[in-house]
Amino acid sequence: MCGIIGYVGSRPAEEILLSGLRKLEYRGYDSAGLSLIGDGEIRSVRAVGNLDRLEAALAGDAAGATATATLARPATIGIGHTRWATHGRVSEANAHPHYDSANRVHVVVNGIVENYMALRERLVSEGASFSSETDAEVIAHLIASAYRDDLAGTVARVLTELDGYFAFVAMTLDEPDVLVGARRECPLVVGRGADESFIASAVPAFLAHTRSVQLVENGEIVVLRAGEVEIRDGAGETMLREIVEVDWDEETAEKGGYETFMLKEIHEQADAVAETISDRTARGDGVDLADPLCFDEALLDGVQRVVFVACGTAYHAGLMGRYAIEDWAGLPVEVDVASEYRYRNPIVGPGDLVVGISQSGETADTLGAMRVARERGARVIALTNVMGSQATRECDGVLYTRAGLEIGVAATKTFVAQLALVYLLALRLAALRGSLSAARIGELVAAMRQLPQLIDELLDGLDARVDAIAEWCWQADFFLYIGRHAGVPIALEGALKLKEISYVSTDAYAAGEMKHGPIAMLDERTPVVAVATSSPVLAKVINNIDEVRARGAKVIAITTAGDDTVAPHVEDTIAVPATEPMLEPLLAVIPLQLLAYRIAMRRALNPDQPRNLAKTVTVE
Ligand code: AGP
């Protein structure tokens, strides 16, 4: 996930920006840059790779990096950025800061400008000359084209033209003592010093200099001068904002105040989904997966069958893909764990679309399975979170999830982003095949665009609610997870999460399979977690719940808000907001992640680093 830092004060900005960027390294990045204003000139330096390369570029001795204008005196105002590529490949040209054609306005941007293509076309027709492939660059050109003599006012006007989820900080040579930040969904925080001001995407960036913090709310604009900060709402009214003194140490600050990275990442899931779906669902009522750099929709023409290959959590995302694609697109779907697929003799070839799902893009078995399919003539696409990863080099097209770097070993936000993307793939296939009407696709797209908001609603107070459940079940030594239909992948994923981070034995089954074996495991000591959200087979799930309760087991059900049919049959319920039945499982996994998390914490285990597990499994 990209990182932003801005500084205006009286000390040399370069050092402060660089050290701030170092504090944001934990967020993950592939390139970095900064711009400084001094003596009527802008110096901008960008480099691919890590911050050592940026430092070398600043010193003037890095190949593949650019540095403009050398300033006579050290600048005391500037902006910096670490980039995690989403739109546009990893390259120096795509690294931030971005600037307008006259090189007067520089910006650093996080998130996604959904309508950037239309804006770019308009700006080009007006004479703007673009130097990157990014969506972010449009902001610099828009500001430059609307600018008269007031950067803050210009940013306010430009904001009304932008669709999407983003945060940015801008500066211009014409007002060399001002930084202006703005945010929509993506975070921005302000740091207050005596005669200096900071702005960043996260507190660690300036914690070494000040602990006095102001939060910038959604839709607000912030104007920073040395030691002066004004926060305005979208209408230009000045907002009073409390200055909070944070007592976080550096590690807590990196975790955004959360006790672990896993908990932080669970709370980043609305963002992960928003970034993954936003621009792909922004044009009309349909889904557009095309990306001139990595995905040609012609790959989806004439597909006869879809095959998902993946491991672990990513495999569960593939299972969800099966329900969605069969239901919406009417195509046959096969899903296999990659380590099996690659050593079977899979019947695969032209006409098949093979999708390797891997958050890291480096999982050896998934790569192996993709290679087998490709050798046999199938079209192979990678669905991954990491730009430039091996999977992206061994396929015919790439669909990126945009969850940002995931540090916790247990996948959480990358999983919901994978689910969101397989839903989009299913909808796009449905549109191409005409298996759903445009109106129905429009309804489903609208429901998908609601998901980030529903995730936020769901997370509000959820941790405490889940912990109250963990209190009565955390000592159990075996949990059974059940679900039916699209609840099955979620039951499997919930069970995997608990196993991974709590070392508690779990089993997960399609609930209809229970009486064919696993029911023998149940007694009054067994917690059973049932995914019982809306579905065409909810009544059958309730029957299965009754069967397990008849054996004395205690049932925790994930239900749909407003449904009152499940509660009388179970010990405890956690309701997720109602939406399209196929999408509710994406919400249902969140309480299960938290249940695993709270049980691990009660067992005094570190969920970020579970024993025996690696984040990326590059060996088979
Ligand atoms: C998920 O919590 C696990 N850490 C693991 O199952 C993981 O999903 C699997 O190793 C696949 O990784 P990938 O998505 O990077 O390919």
The bridge status of strand 305-310 relative to strand 352-358 is parallel
Categorize the per-residue pLDDT at 62 as very low, low, confident or very high, splitting at 50, 70 and 90. low
Nearest residue (by CA) to ligand 1, atom 9, is 312
What percent of the chain has pLDDT above 90? 77
User: Which atom of ligand 1 sits closest to the CA of residue 500?
Assistant: 2
Looking at per-residue confidence, does 207 or 125 come out higher? 125
Nearest residue (by CA) to ligand 1, atom 8, is 313
pLDDT digits (tens, 9 = 90+) for 321-365: 999 999 999 999 999 999 999 999 999 999 999 999 999 999 999
Q: How far is the CA of 115 from the centre of ligand 1 (A)?
A: 33
pLDDT digits (tens, 9 = 90+) for 564-606: 999 999 999 999 999 999 999 999 999 999 999 999 999 999 9
The string over 378-404, giving b where at least 16 C-beta atoms fall within 10 Å of a residue's C-beta and e elsewhere, is bbbbbbbbbbebbbbeebbbbbbbbbb
**What is the pLDDT at residue 305?**
98
Question: What is the DSSP secondary structure assignment for residue 35, as one 8-state letter?
Answer: E
Nearest residue (by CA) to ligand 1, atom 16, is 358
User: Which atom of ligand 1 sits closest to the CA of residue 616?
Assistant: 15
User: Which atom of ligand 1 sits closest to the CA of residue 410?
Assistant: 2
Q: How far is the CA of 617 from the centre of ligand 1 (A)?
A: 8
Q: Does 135 have pLDDT greater than 60?
A: yes
Residues whose CB falls within 8 Å of the CB of residue 46, separated by 6 or more in sequence, listed in order: 31, 32, 33, 34, 54, 57, 65, 66, 92, 95, 96, 97
Mean pLDDT rounded to a whole number for the chain: 93
Q: Which of the following is catalytic: 2, 186, 294, 395? A: 2
Q: How far is the CA of 31 from the centre of ligand 1 (A)?
A: 25
Q: Does 411 have pLDDT greater than 70?
A: yes
pLDDT digits (tens, 9 = 90+) for 531-567: 999 999 999 999 999 999 999 999 999 999 999 999 9
What ranges in 521-566 are assigned the alpha helix state H?
A: 538-549
Nearest residue (by CA) to ligand 1, atom 15, is 360
Mean pLDDT of 511-523: 89
Q: Which of the following is catalytic: 294, 311, 499, 615? A: 615
Question: What is the DSSP secondary structure assignment for residue 614, as one 8-state letter?
Answer: -
Q: How far is the CA of 447 from the centre of ligand 1 (A)?
A: 28
pLDDT digits (tens, 9 = 90+) for 262-273: 999 999 999 999
Q: Does 69 have pLDDT greater than 70?
A: no
Q: Is 540 an active-site residue? A: no
Q: How far is the CA of 427 from the centre of ligand 1 (A)?
A: 25
Using alpha carbons, select from 518, 504, 326, 349 the residue that is nearest to residue 426.
Answer: 326
Categorize the per-residue pLDDT at 68 as very low, low, confident or very high, splitting at 50, 70 and 90. low
Report domain 461-620's class: alpha beta
The bridge status of strand 554-560 relative to strand 572-576 is parallel
Q: How far is the CA of 314 from the centre of ligand 1 (A)?
A: 6
Which residues share a beta bridge with 191? Answer: 198, 213
Number of neighbouring beta carbons within 10 Å of residue 18: 18
> What is this structure's pTM?
0.81
Among the CATH numbers 3.30.160.250, 3.40.50.10490, 3.30.70.380, 3.40.640.10, which is that of 254-456?
3.40.50.10490
Q: How far is the CA of 409 from the centre of ligand 1 (A)?
A: 8
Task: Assess whether the region 254-456 and the region 461-620 belong to the same CATH fold.
Answer: yes
Which overall architecture, per CATH, does domain 3-247 show?
A: 4-Layer Sandwich (3.60)
Q: Are 586 and 419 in contact (CB under 8 A)?
A: yes
Q: Is 2 an active-site residue? A: yes
Distance in angstroms between the alpha carbons of the first and the last residue of the chain = 28
Q: Does 388 have pLDDT greater than 90?
A: no
User: Which atom of ligand 1 sits closest to the CA of residue 384?
Assistant: 14
Q: Does 64 have pLDDT greater than 60?
A: no
Q: Does 65 have pLDDT greater than 60?
A: no
d(CA 180, CA 230): 10
Q: Are 27 and 1 in contact (CB under 8 A)?
A: yes
User: Which atom of ligand 1 sits closest to the CA of residue 613?
Assistant: 4
Residue of 309, 363, 415 with the most ligand 1 atoms within 8 Å of its CB, for mutation: 363
Residue of 387, 617, 618 with the most ligand 1 atoms within 8 Å of its CB, for mutation: 617
Which residues share a beta bridge with 198? Answer: 7, 191
User: Which atom of ligand 1 sits closest to the CA of residue 617?
Assistant: 10
Categorize the per-residue pLDDT at 421 as very low, low, confident or very high, splitting at 50, 70 and 90. very high
Domain boundaries, the chain: 3-247, 254-456, 461-620
User: Which atom of ligand 1 sits closest to the CA of residue 414?
Assistant: 14
Q: How far is the CA of 536 from the centre of ligand 1 (A)?
A: 30
Mean pLDDT of 11-28: 89
Nearest residue (by CA) to ligand 1, atom 4, is 410
Q: Does 87 have pLDDT greater than 90?
A: no
Residue of 341, 360, 384, 493 with the most ligand 1 atoms within 8 Å of its CB, for mutation: 360
Which residues share a beta bridge with 3? Answer: 82
Q: Which residues line ligand 1 (CB under 6 A)?
A: 311-314, 358-360, 363, 366, 409-411, 500, 613, 616-617
**What is the pLDDT at residue 26?**
76
